[in-house]
Amino acid sequence: MNAESQEPPSGPAASSEATGPSSAGPAAPGAGRRSFLRGLAGGVAGGVVAGGAAGYYSRNIAPGTDPAAAANEAAVTGRLPAVPFHGRHQAGILPPPSRATAVVSFDVTADDKASLTELFQTVTDRARFLTAGGTPPPVGIGGPPSDSGVLGPTVVPDGLTVTFGVGSTLFDERFGLASSRPARLTAMQPFPNDDLDPAQCGGDLILQLRAGSTDTVLHALRDIAKNTRGGMQVNWRIDGFVSPARPTGTVPRNLLGFMDGIANPAVTSASDMNSLVWVQPGTAGEPAWTAGGSYFVVRLIRMLVEFWDRVDVFEQELMIGRRRATGLPLDGTTIDSVPNYTLDPTGDVIPLTAHIRIANPRLPKYNASRILRRGWNYDRGIDSVGDLDMGLIFTCFQQDIERQFKAVQTRLIDEPLTDYISPFGGGYFLALPGVTGPSDYYGRALLA
């Protein structure tokens, strides 16, 4: 894990594999192609009017208002503006973590390539509508309402992004896609300190929803699930949140009490993004359709917070390499200070085993292993001895899982922090290239 994150690389703990339960056998005979959409379409109007709400939000912010205050107000009230859906890359990858997220793995139950294509088109259509907002169609007396109403009569965009990806099991024999498998996509194999639960690992598909508030995320999840019923089935799921920066600043804390996410490659640097995040056209061995996508690692990491809370703060800081109260590196005077390991070769200040030091040794030879790290806290009840089940949804985006995430995570094997964390789920995926316009859909170049 990485309670820190800052360093470019930072890897969380490792992972697993875990075969997603989906390798499934041959599709069901008998009933023919599964028309998981027909039922819905049959009864009522299928269309929606999108886009109506976007202007509403901007109008709520009076001219002259302090933009930061307005953004904060918007976040608090769940009125973030729409994030444009169309683009070369998916829109949910580069922005800093939003307040609320859900990470949901699905297995495909559609039984042939045509049905799979229909599924991807439906996910695209729903994502396009939900991210823009608008009013769902009335159904008259023809059936139950087309929308859950969770966001009120008009769906607000609230900064929703939908990040959709594929796992290695999608490229088995079911859909004839074996020859299109992304070159760097494998199942997640466990690292030495992992405790992976197969039921919470892998999956044919991954969907990450992010928005300004939880109701927006859950509304989107229900909408997408309802409209794709029969085509895919939830495999595992986790919800997460980002805390406000405390006491001030921009860096939120994780549930170990440390600021998390301090350092990352600059998302504004096209060259960094092209060398670290996006699959480039013409990459050796990669099928052409993957260009513009990004390898997406998800690691679900329990934090043993009761144990952690019984540890002296200085020991905590030595494990992390930063001060808990301020986030400063142990050798630094500002939160952005770059640790100077050359001056500290024996770890008298920042121990050689500190998380930030292993994760990012700050040497040029490790630059290519940097990842774009995105972390969310999760909190979901208790375990069998009554301890709290909470921790980190570690996600990262990169061009090459082997070169980046796995290299970082391999360095972190046996770091002292491993005693206080327990990776239990997640998977490796490829976030698909972006949907470029109204007639495009997720995975078109893969499926066409």
Closer to other proteins by Cβ: residue 136 or 375: 136
Whose Cβ is closer to other proteins: residue 44's or residue 183's?
Answer: 44
Residue 327 CB, nearest approach to other proteins (Å): 40
Burial class of residue 55 (count of CB atoms within 10 Å of its CB; 0-12, 13-18, 19+): exposed
Tally of CB atoms within 10 A around 306: 12
Q: Which residue ranges make up the site for other proteins (CB under 8 A)?
A: 21-25, 28-32, 34-36, 38-45, 48-53, 55-57, 59-60, 107, 109, 134-135, 137-145, 149, 153-154, 199, 226, 229-233, 235
Handedness of CA 6, 7, 13, 16 (dihedral sign): positive
The CB-of-140 to other proteins minimum distance in angstroms stands at 5
425: which 2 tokens?
Answer: 């789920």
Number of Cβ within 10 Å of residue 174's Cβ equals 22
Nearer of residues 134 and 327 to other proteins, judged by Cβ? 134
* Residue 140 vs 364, nearer CB to other proteins: 140
Closest CA relative to residue 125, chosen from 48, 183, 73: 48
Residue 424 CB neighbours (<10 A): 21
Alpha-carbon Rg of the chain, whole angstroms?
Answer: 22
- Nearest residue (CB) to other proteins, 50 versus 396: 50
DSSP character for 405? I
Q: How far apart are CA 276 and CA 280, in angstroms?
A: 10
Taking the complex as a whole, the smallest distance from the CB of residue 28 to other proteins amounts, in Å, to 5
Q: Write down the least CB distance from residue 83 to other proteins, Å.
A: 18
User: Smallest distance from the beta carbon of 126 to other proteins, in angstroms?
Assistant: 14
CA separation for the pair 171, 166 (Å, rounded): 9
Q: What are phi and psi of 143, to 5 degrees?
A: 160, 180
Residue matched to tokens 């100077």: 340
Query: Of 73, 34, 74, which Cα lies nearest the Cα of 54?
Result: 74
How far apart CA 448 and CA 437 sit, in angstroms, is 16
- Give least dist CB 134 to other proteins, A: 6
Closest CA to 102 of 221, 232, 228: 221
CA angle 34, 38, 228 (to 5 degrees): 70
Instruction: Give the nearer residue to other proteins in terms of CB position, either 132 or 392.
Output: 132
CB-wise, 53 or 277, nearer to other proteins? 53
Residue 213 to residue 447: CA distance in whole angstroms: 33
Task: Answer whether 113's CB lies under 8 Å from 176's CB.
Answer: yes
The amino acid present at 102, given as its one-letter code, is A
Minimum CB separation of residue 436 from other proteins in Å reads 23
Closer by beta carbon to other proteins, 21 or else 190: 21
**For residues 60 and 186, which CB has a smaller minimum distance to other proteins in the complex?**
60
β-bridge mates for residue 239, sequence order: 102
In whole angstroms, the minimum distance from the beta carbon of 75 to other proteins comes to 18
The distance of closest approach from Cβ of residue 41 to other proteins in the complex, given in angstroms and rounded to an integer, is 7
Of 55 and 192, nearer to other proteins (C-beta) is 55
Residues 200/425, Cβ–Cβ less than 8 Å: yes
Cis-peptide, bond into residue 247, ω within 30° of zero? yes
Q: How far is CA 36 from CA 224, 231, 421, in A?
A: 12, 6, 41
For other proteins, the closer CB: 21 or 347: 21
Residue 74 beta carbon to other proteins: minimum distance, rounded to whole angstroms: 14
Shortest Å distance, C-beta 146 to other proteins: 10
